[in-house]
A and B are shown apart, each in its own frame.
Chain A
Amino acid sequence: TQLLEQSPQFLSIQEGENLTVYCNSSSVFSSLQWYRQEPGEGPVLLVTVVTGGEVKKLKRLTFQFGDARKDSSLHITAAQPGDTGLYLCAGAGGTSYGKLTFGQGTILTVHP
């Protein structure tokens, strides 16, 4: 069984601060996806990283896929209250062909 460990589970910061969320596994994935979920809504796909060492930027969000394709990180620069939500990483492929393995999520709260 493939597992994805996300850390931290909870993050409470002030507006303007930077933060990093980590997603780690002992398994290799073909790709890794990051989702953001707001209360009462379903997860929304933010990005997919496919190549080991790949870095993708989405405005103030930077996503990185580890060289060995076992881990990923999400870095947010100058966080804003609108960034508040649950961030989920999900691994695709590996031994779970055609399925997504989700981490337990990081609840981010950005205070004005």
Chain B
Amino acid sequence: ETGVTQTPRHLVMGMTNKKSLKCEQHLGHNAMYWYKQSAKKPLELMFVYNFKEQTENNSVPSRFSPECPNSSHLFLHLHTLQPEDSALYLCASSQDRTGWNTEAFFGQGTRLTVV
């Protein structure tokens, strides 16, 4: 396998459900990211992990909880979401976040629908 893999590709969940999104990268990168992509809005950076440590939380509501057990895996735990949280959630990785020219490699995304 190569690149960045996200599962599941599609997820429908109720507002009281708890679910998790998974991301795995096989590029040997040290930084991983969660982005939210909604219609008609720029990509929104949610969380950044560098060498397994969370280095950024862009004022994301606590109903989104990230976890990074190692440099290759990233999770986004979801609970008590709202319908406005429906979006495409993208995981990305880069060599590390210490460089001035960060290049991101994205997974295919999870299309989340909250009902």
Q: Please report A residues at the B interface, Cβ cutoff 8 Å.
A: 4, 30-31, 33, 35, 40-45, 48, 50, 88, 90, 92-93, 97-100, 102-105
Contacts and interface: CB of A to CB of B under 8 A. Distances in A.
Contacts of A103: 42
Contacts of A35: 106
B42 A100 contact: no
Interface residues of B, number: 28
A100 B6 CA distance: 20
Interface in B35-70: 40-43, 45, 48, 50, 55-56
B1 to A, nearest CB: 15
B109 A98 contact: no
Contact of A99 (B45, B90, B109): B45
A73 to B, nearest CB: 18
Contact of A42 (B98, B99, B102, B107): B107
B78 interface: no
By secondary structure, the A interface counts as strand
B106 A92 contact: no
Interface of B: 4, 6, 31, 40-43, 45, 48, 50, 55-56, 90, 92, 97-109, 111
Contacts of B43: 43, 88, 90, 102
B107 A100 contact: no
A52 B45 CA distance: 26
A46 to B, nearest CB: 11
A33 B111 CA distance: 24
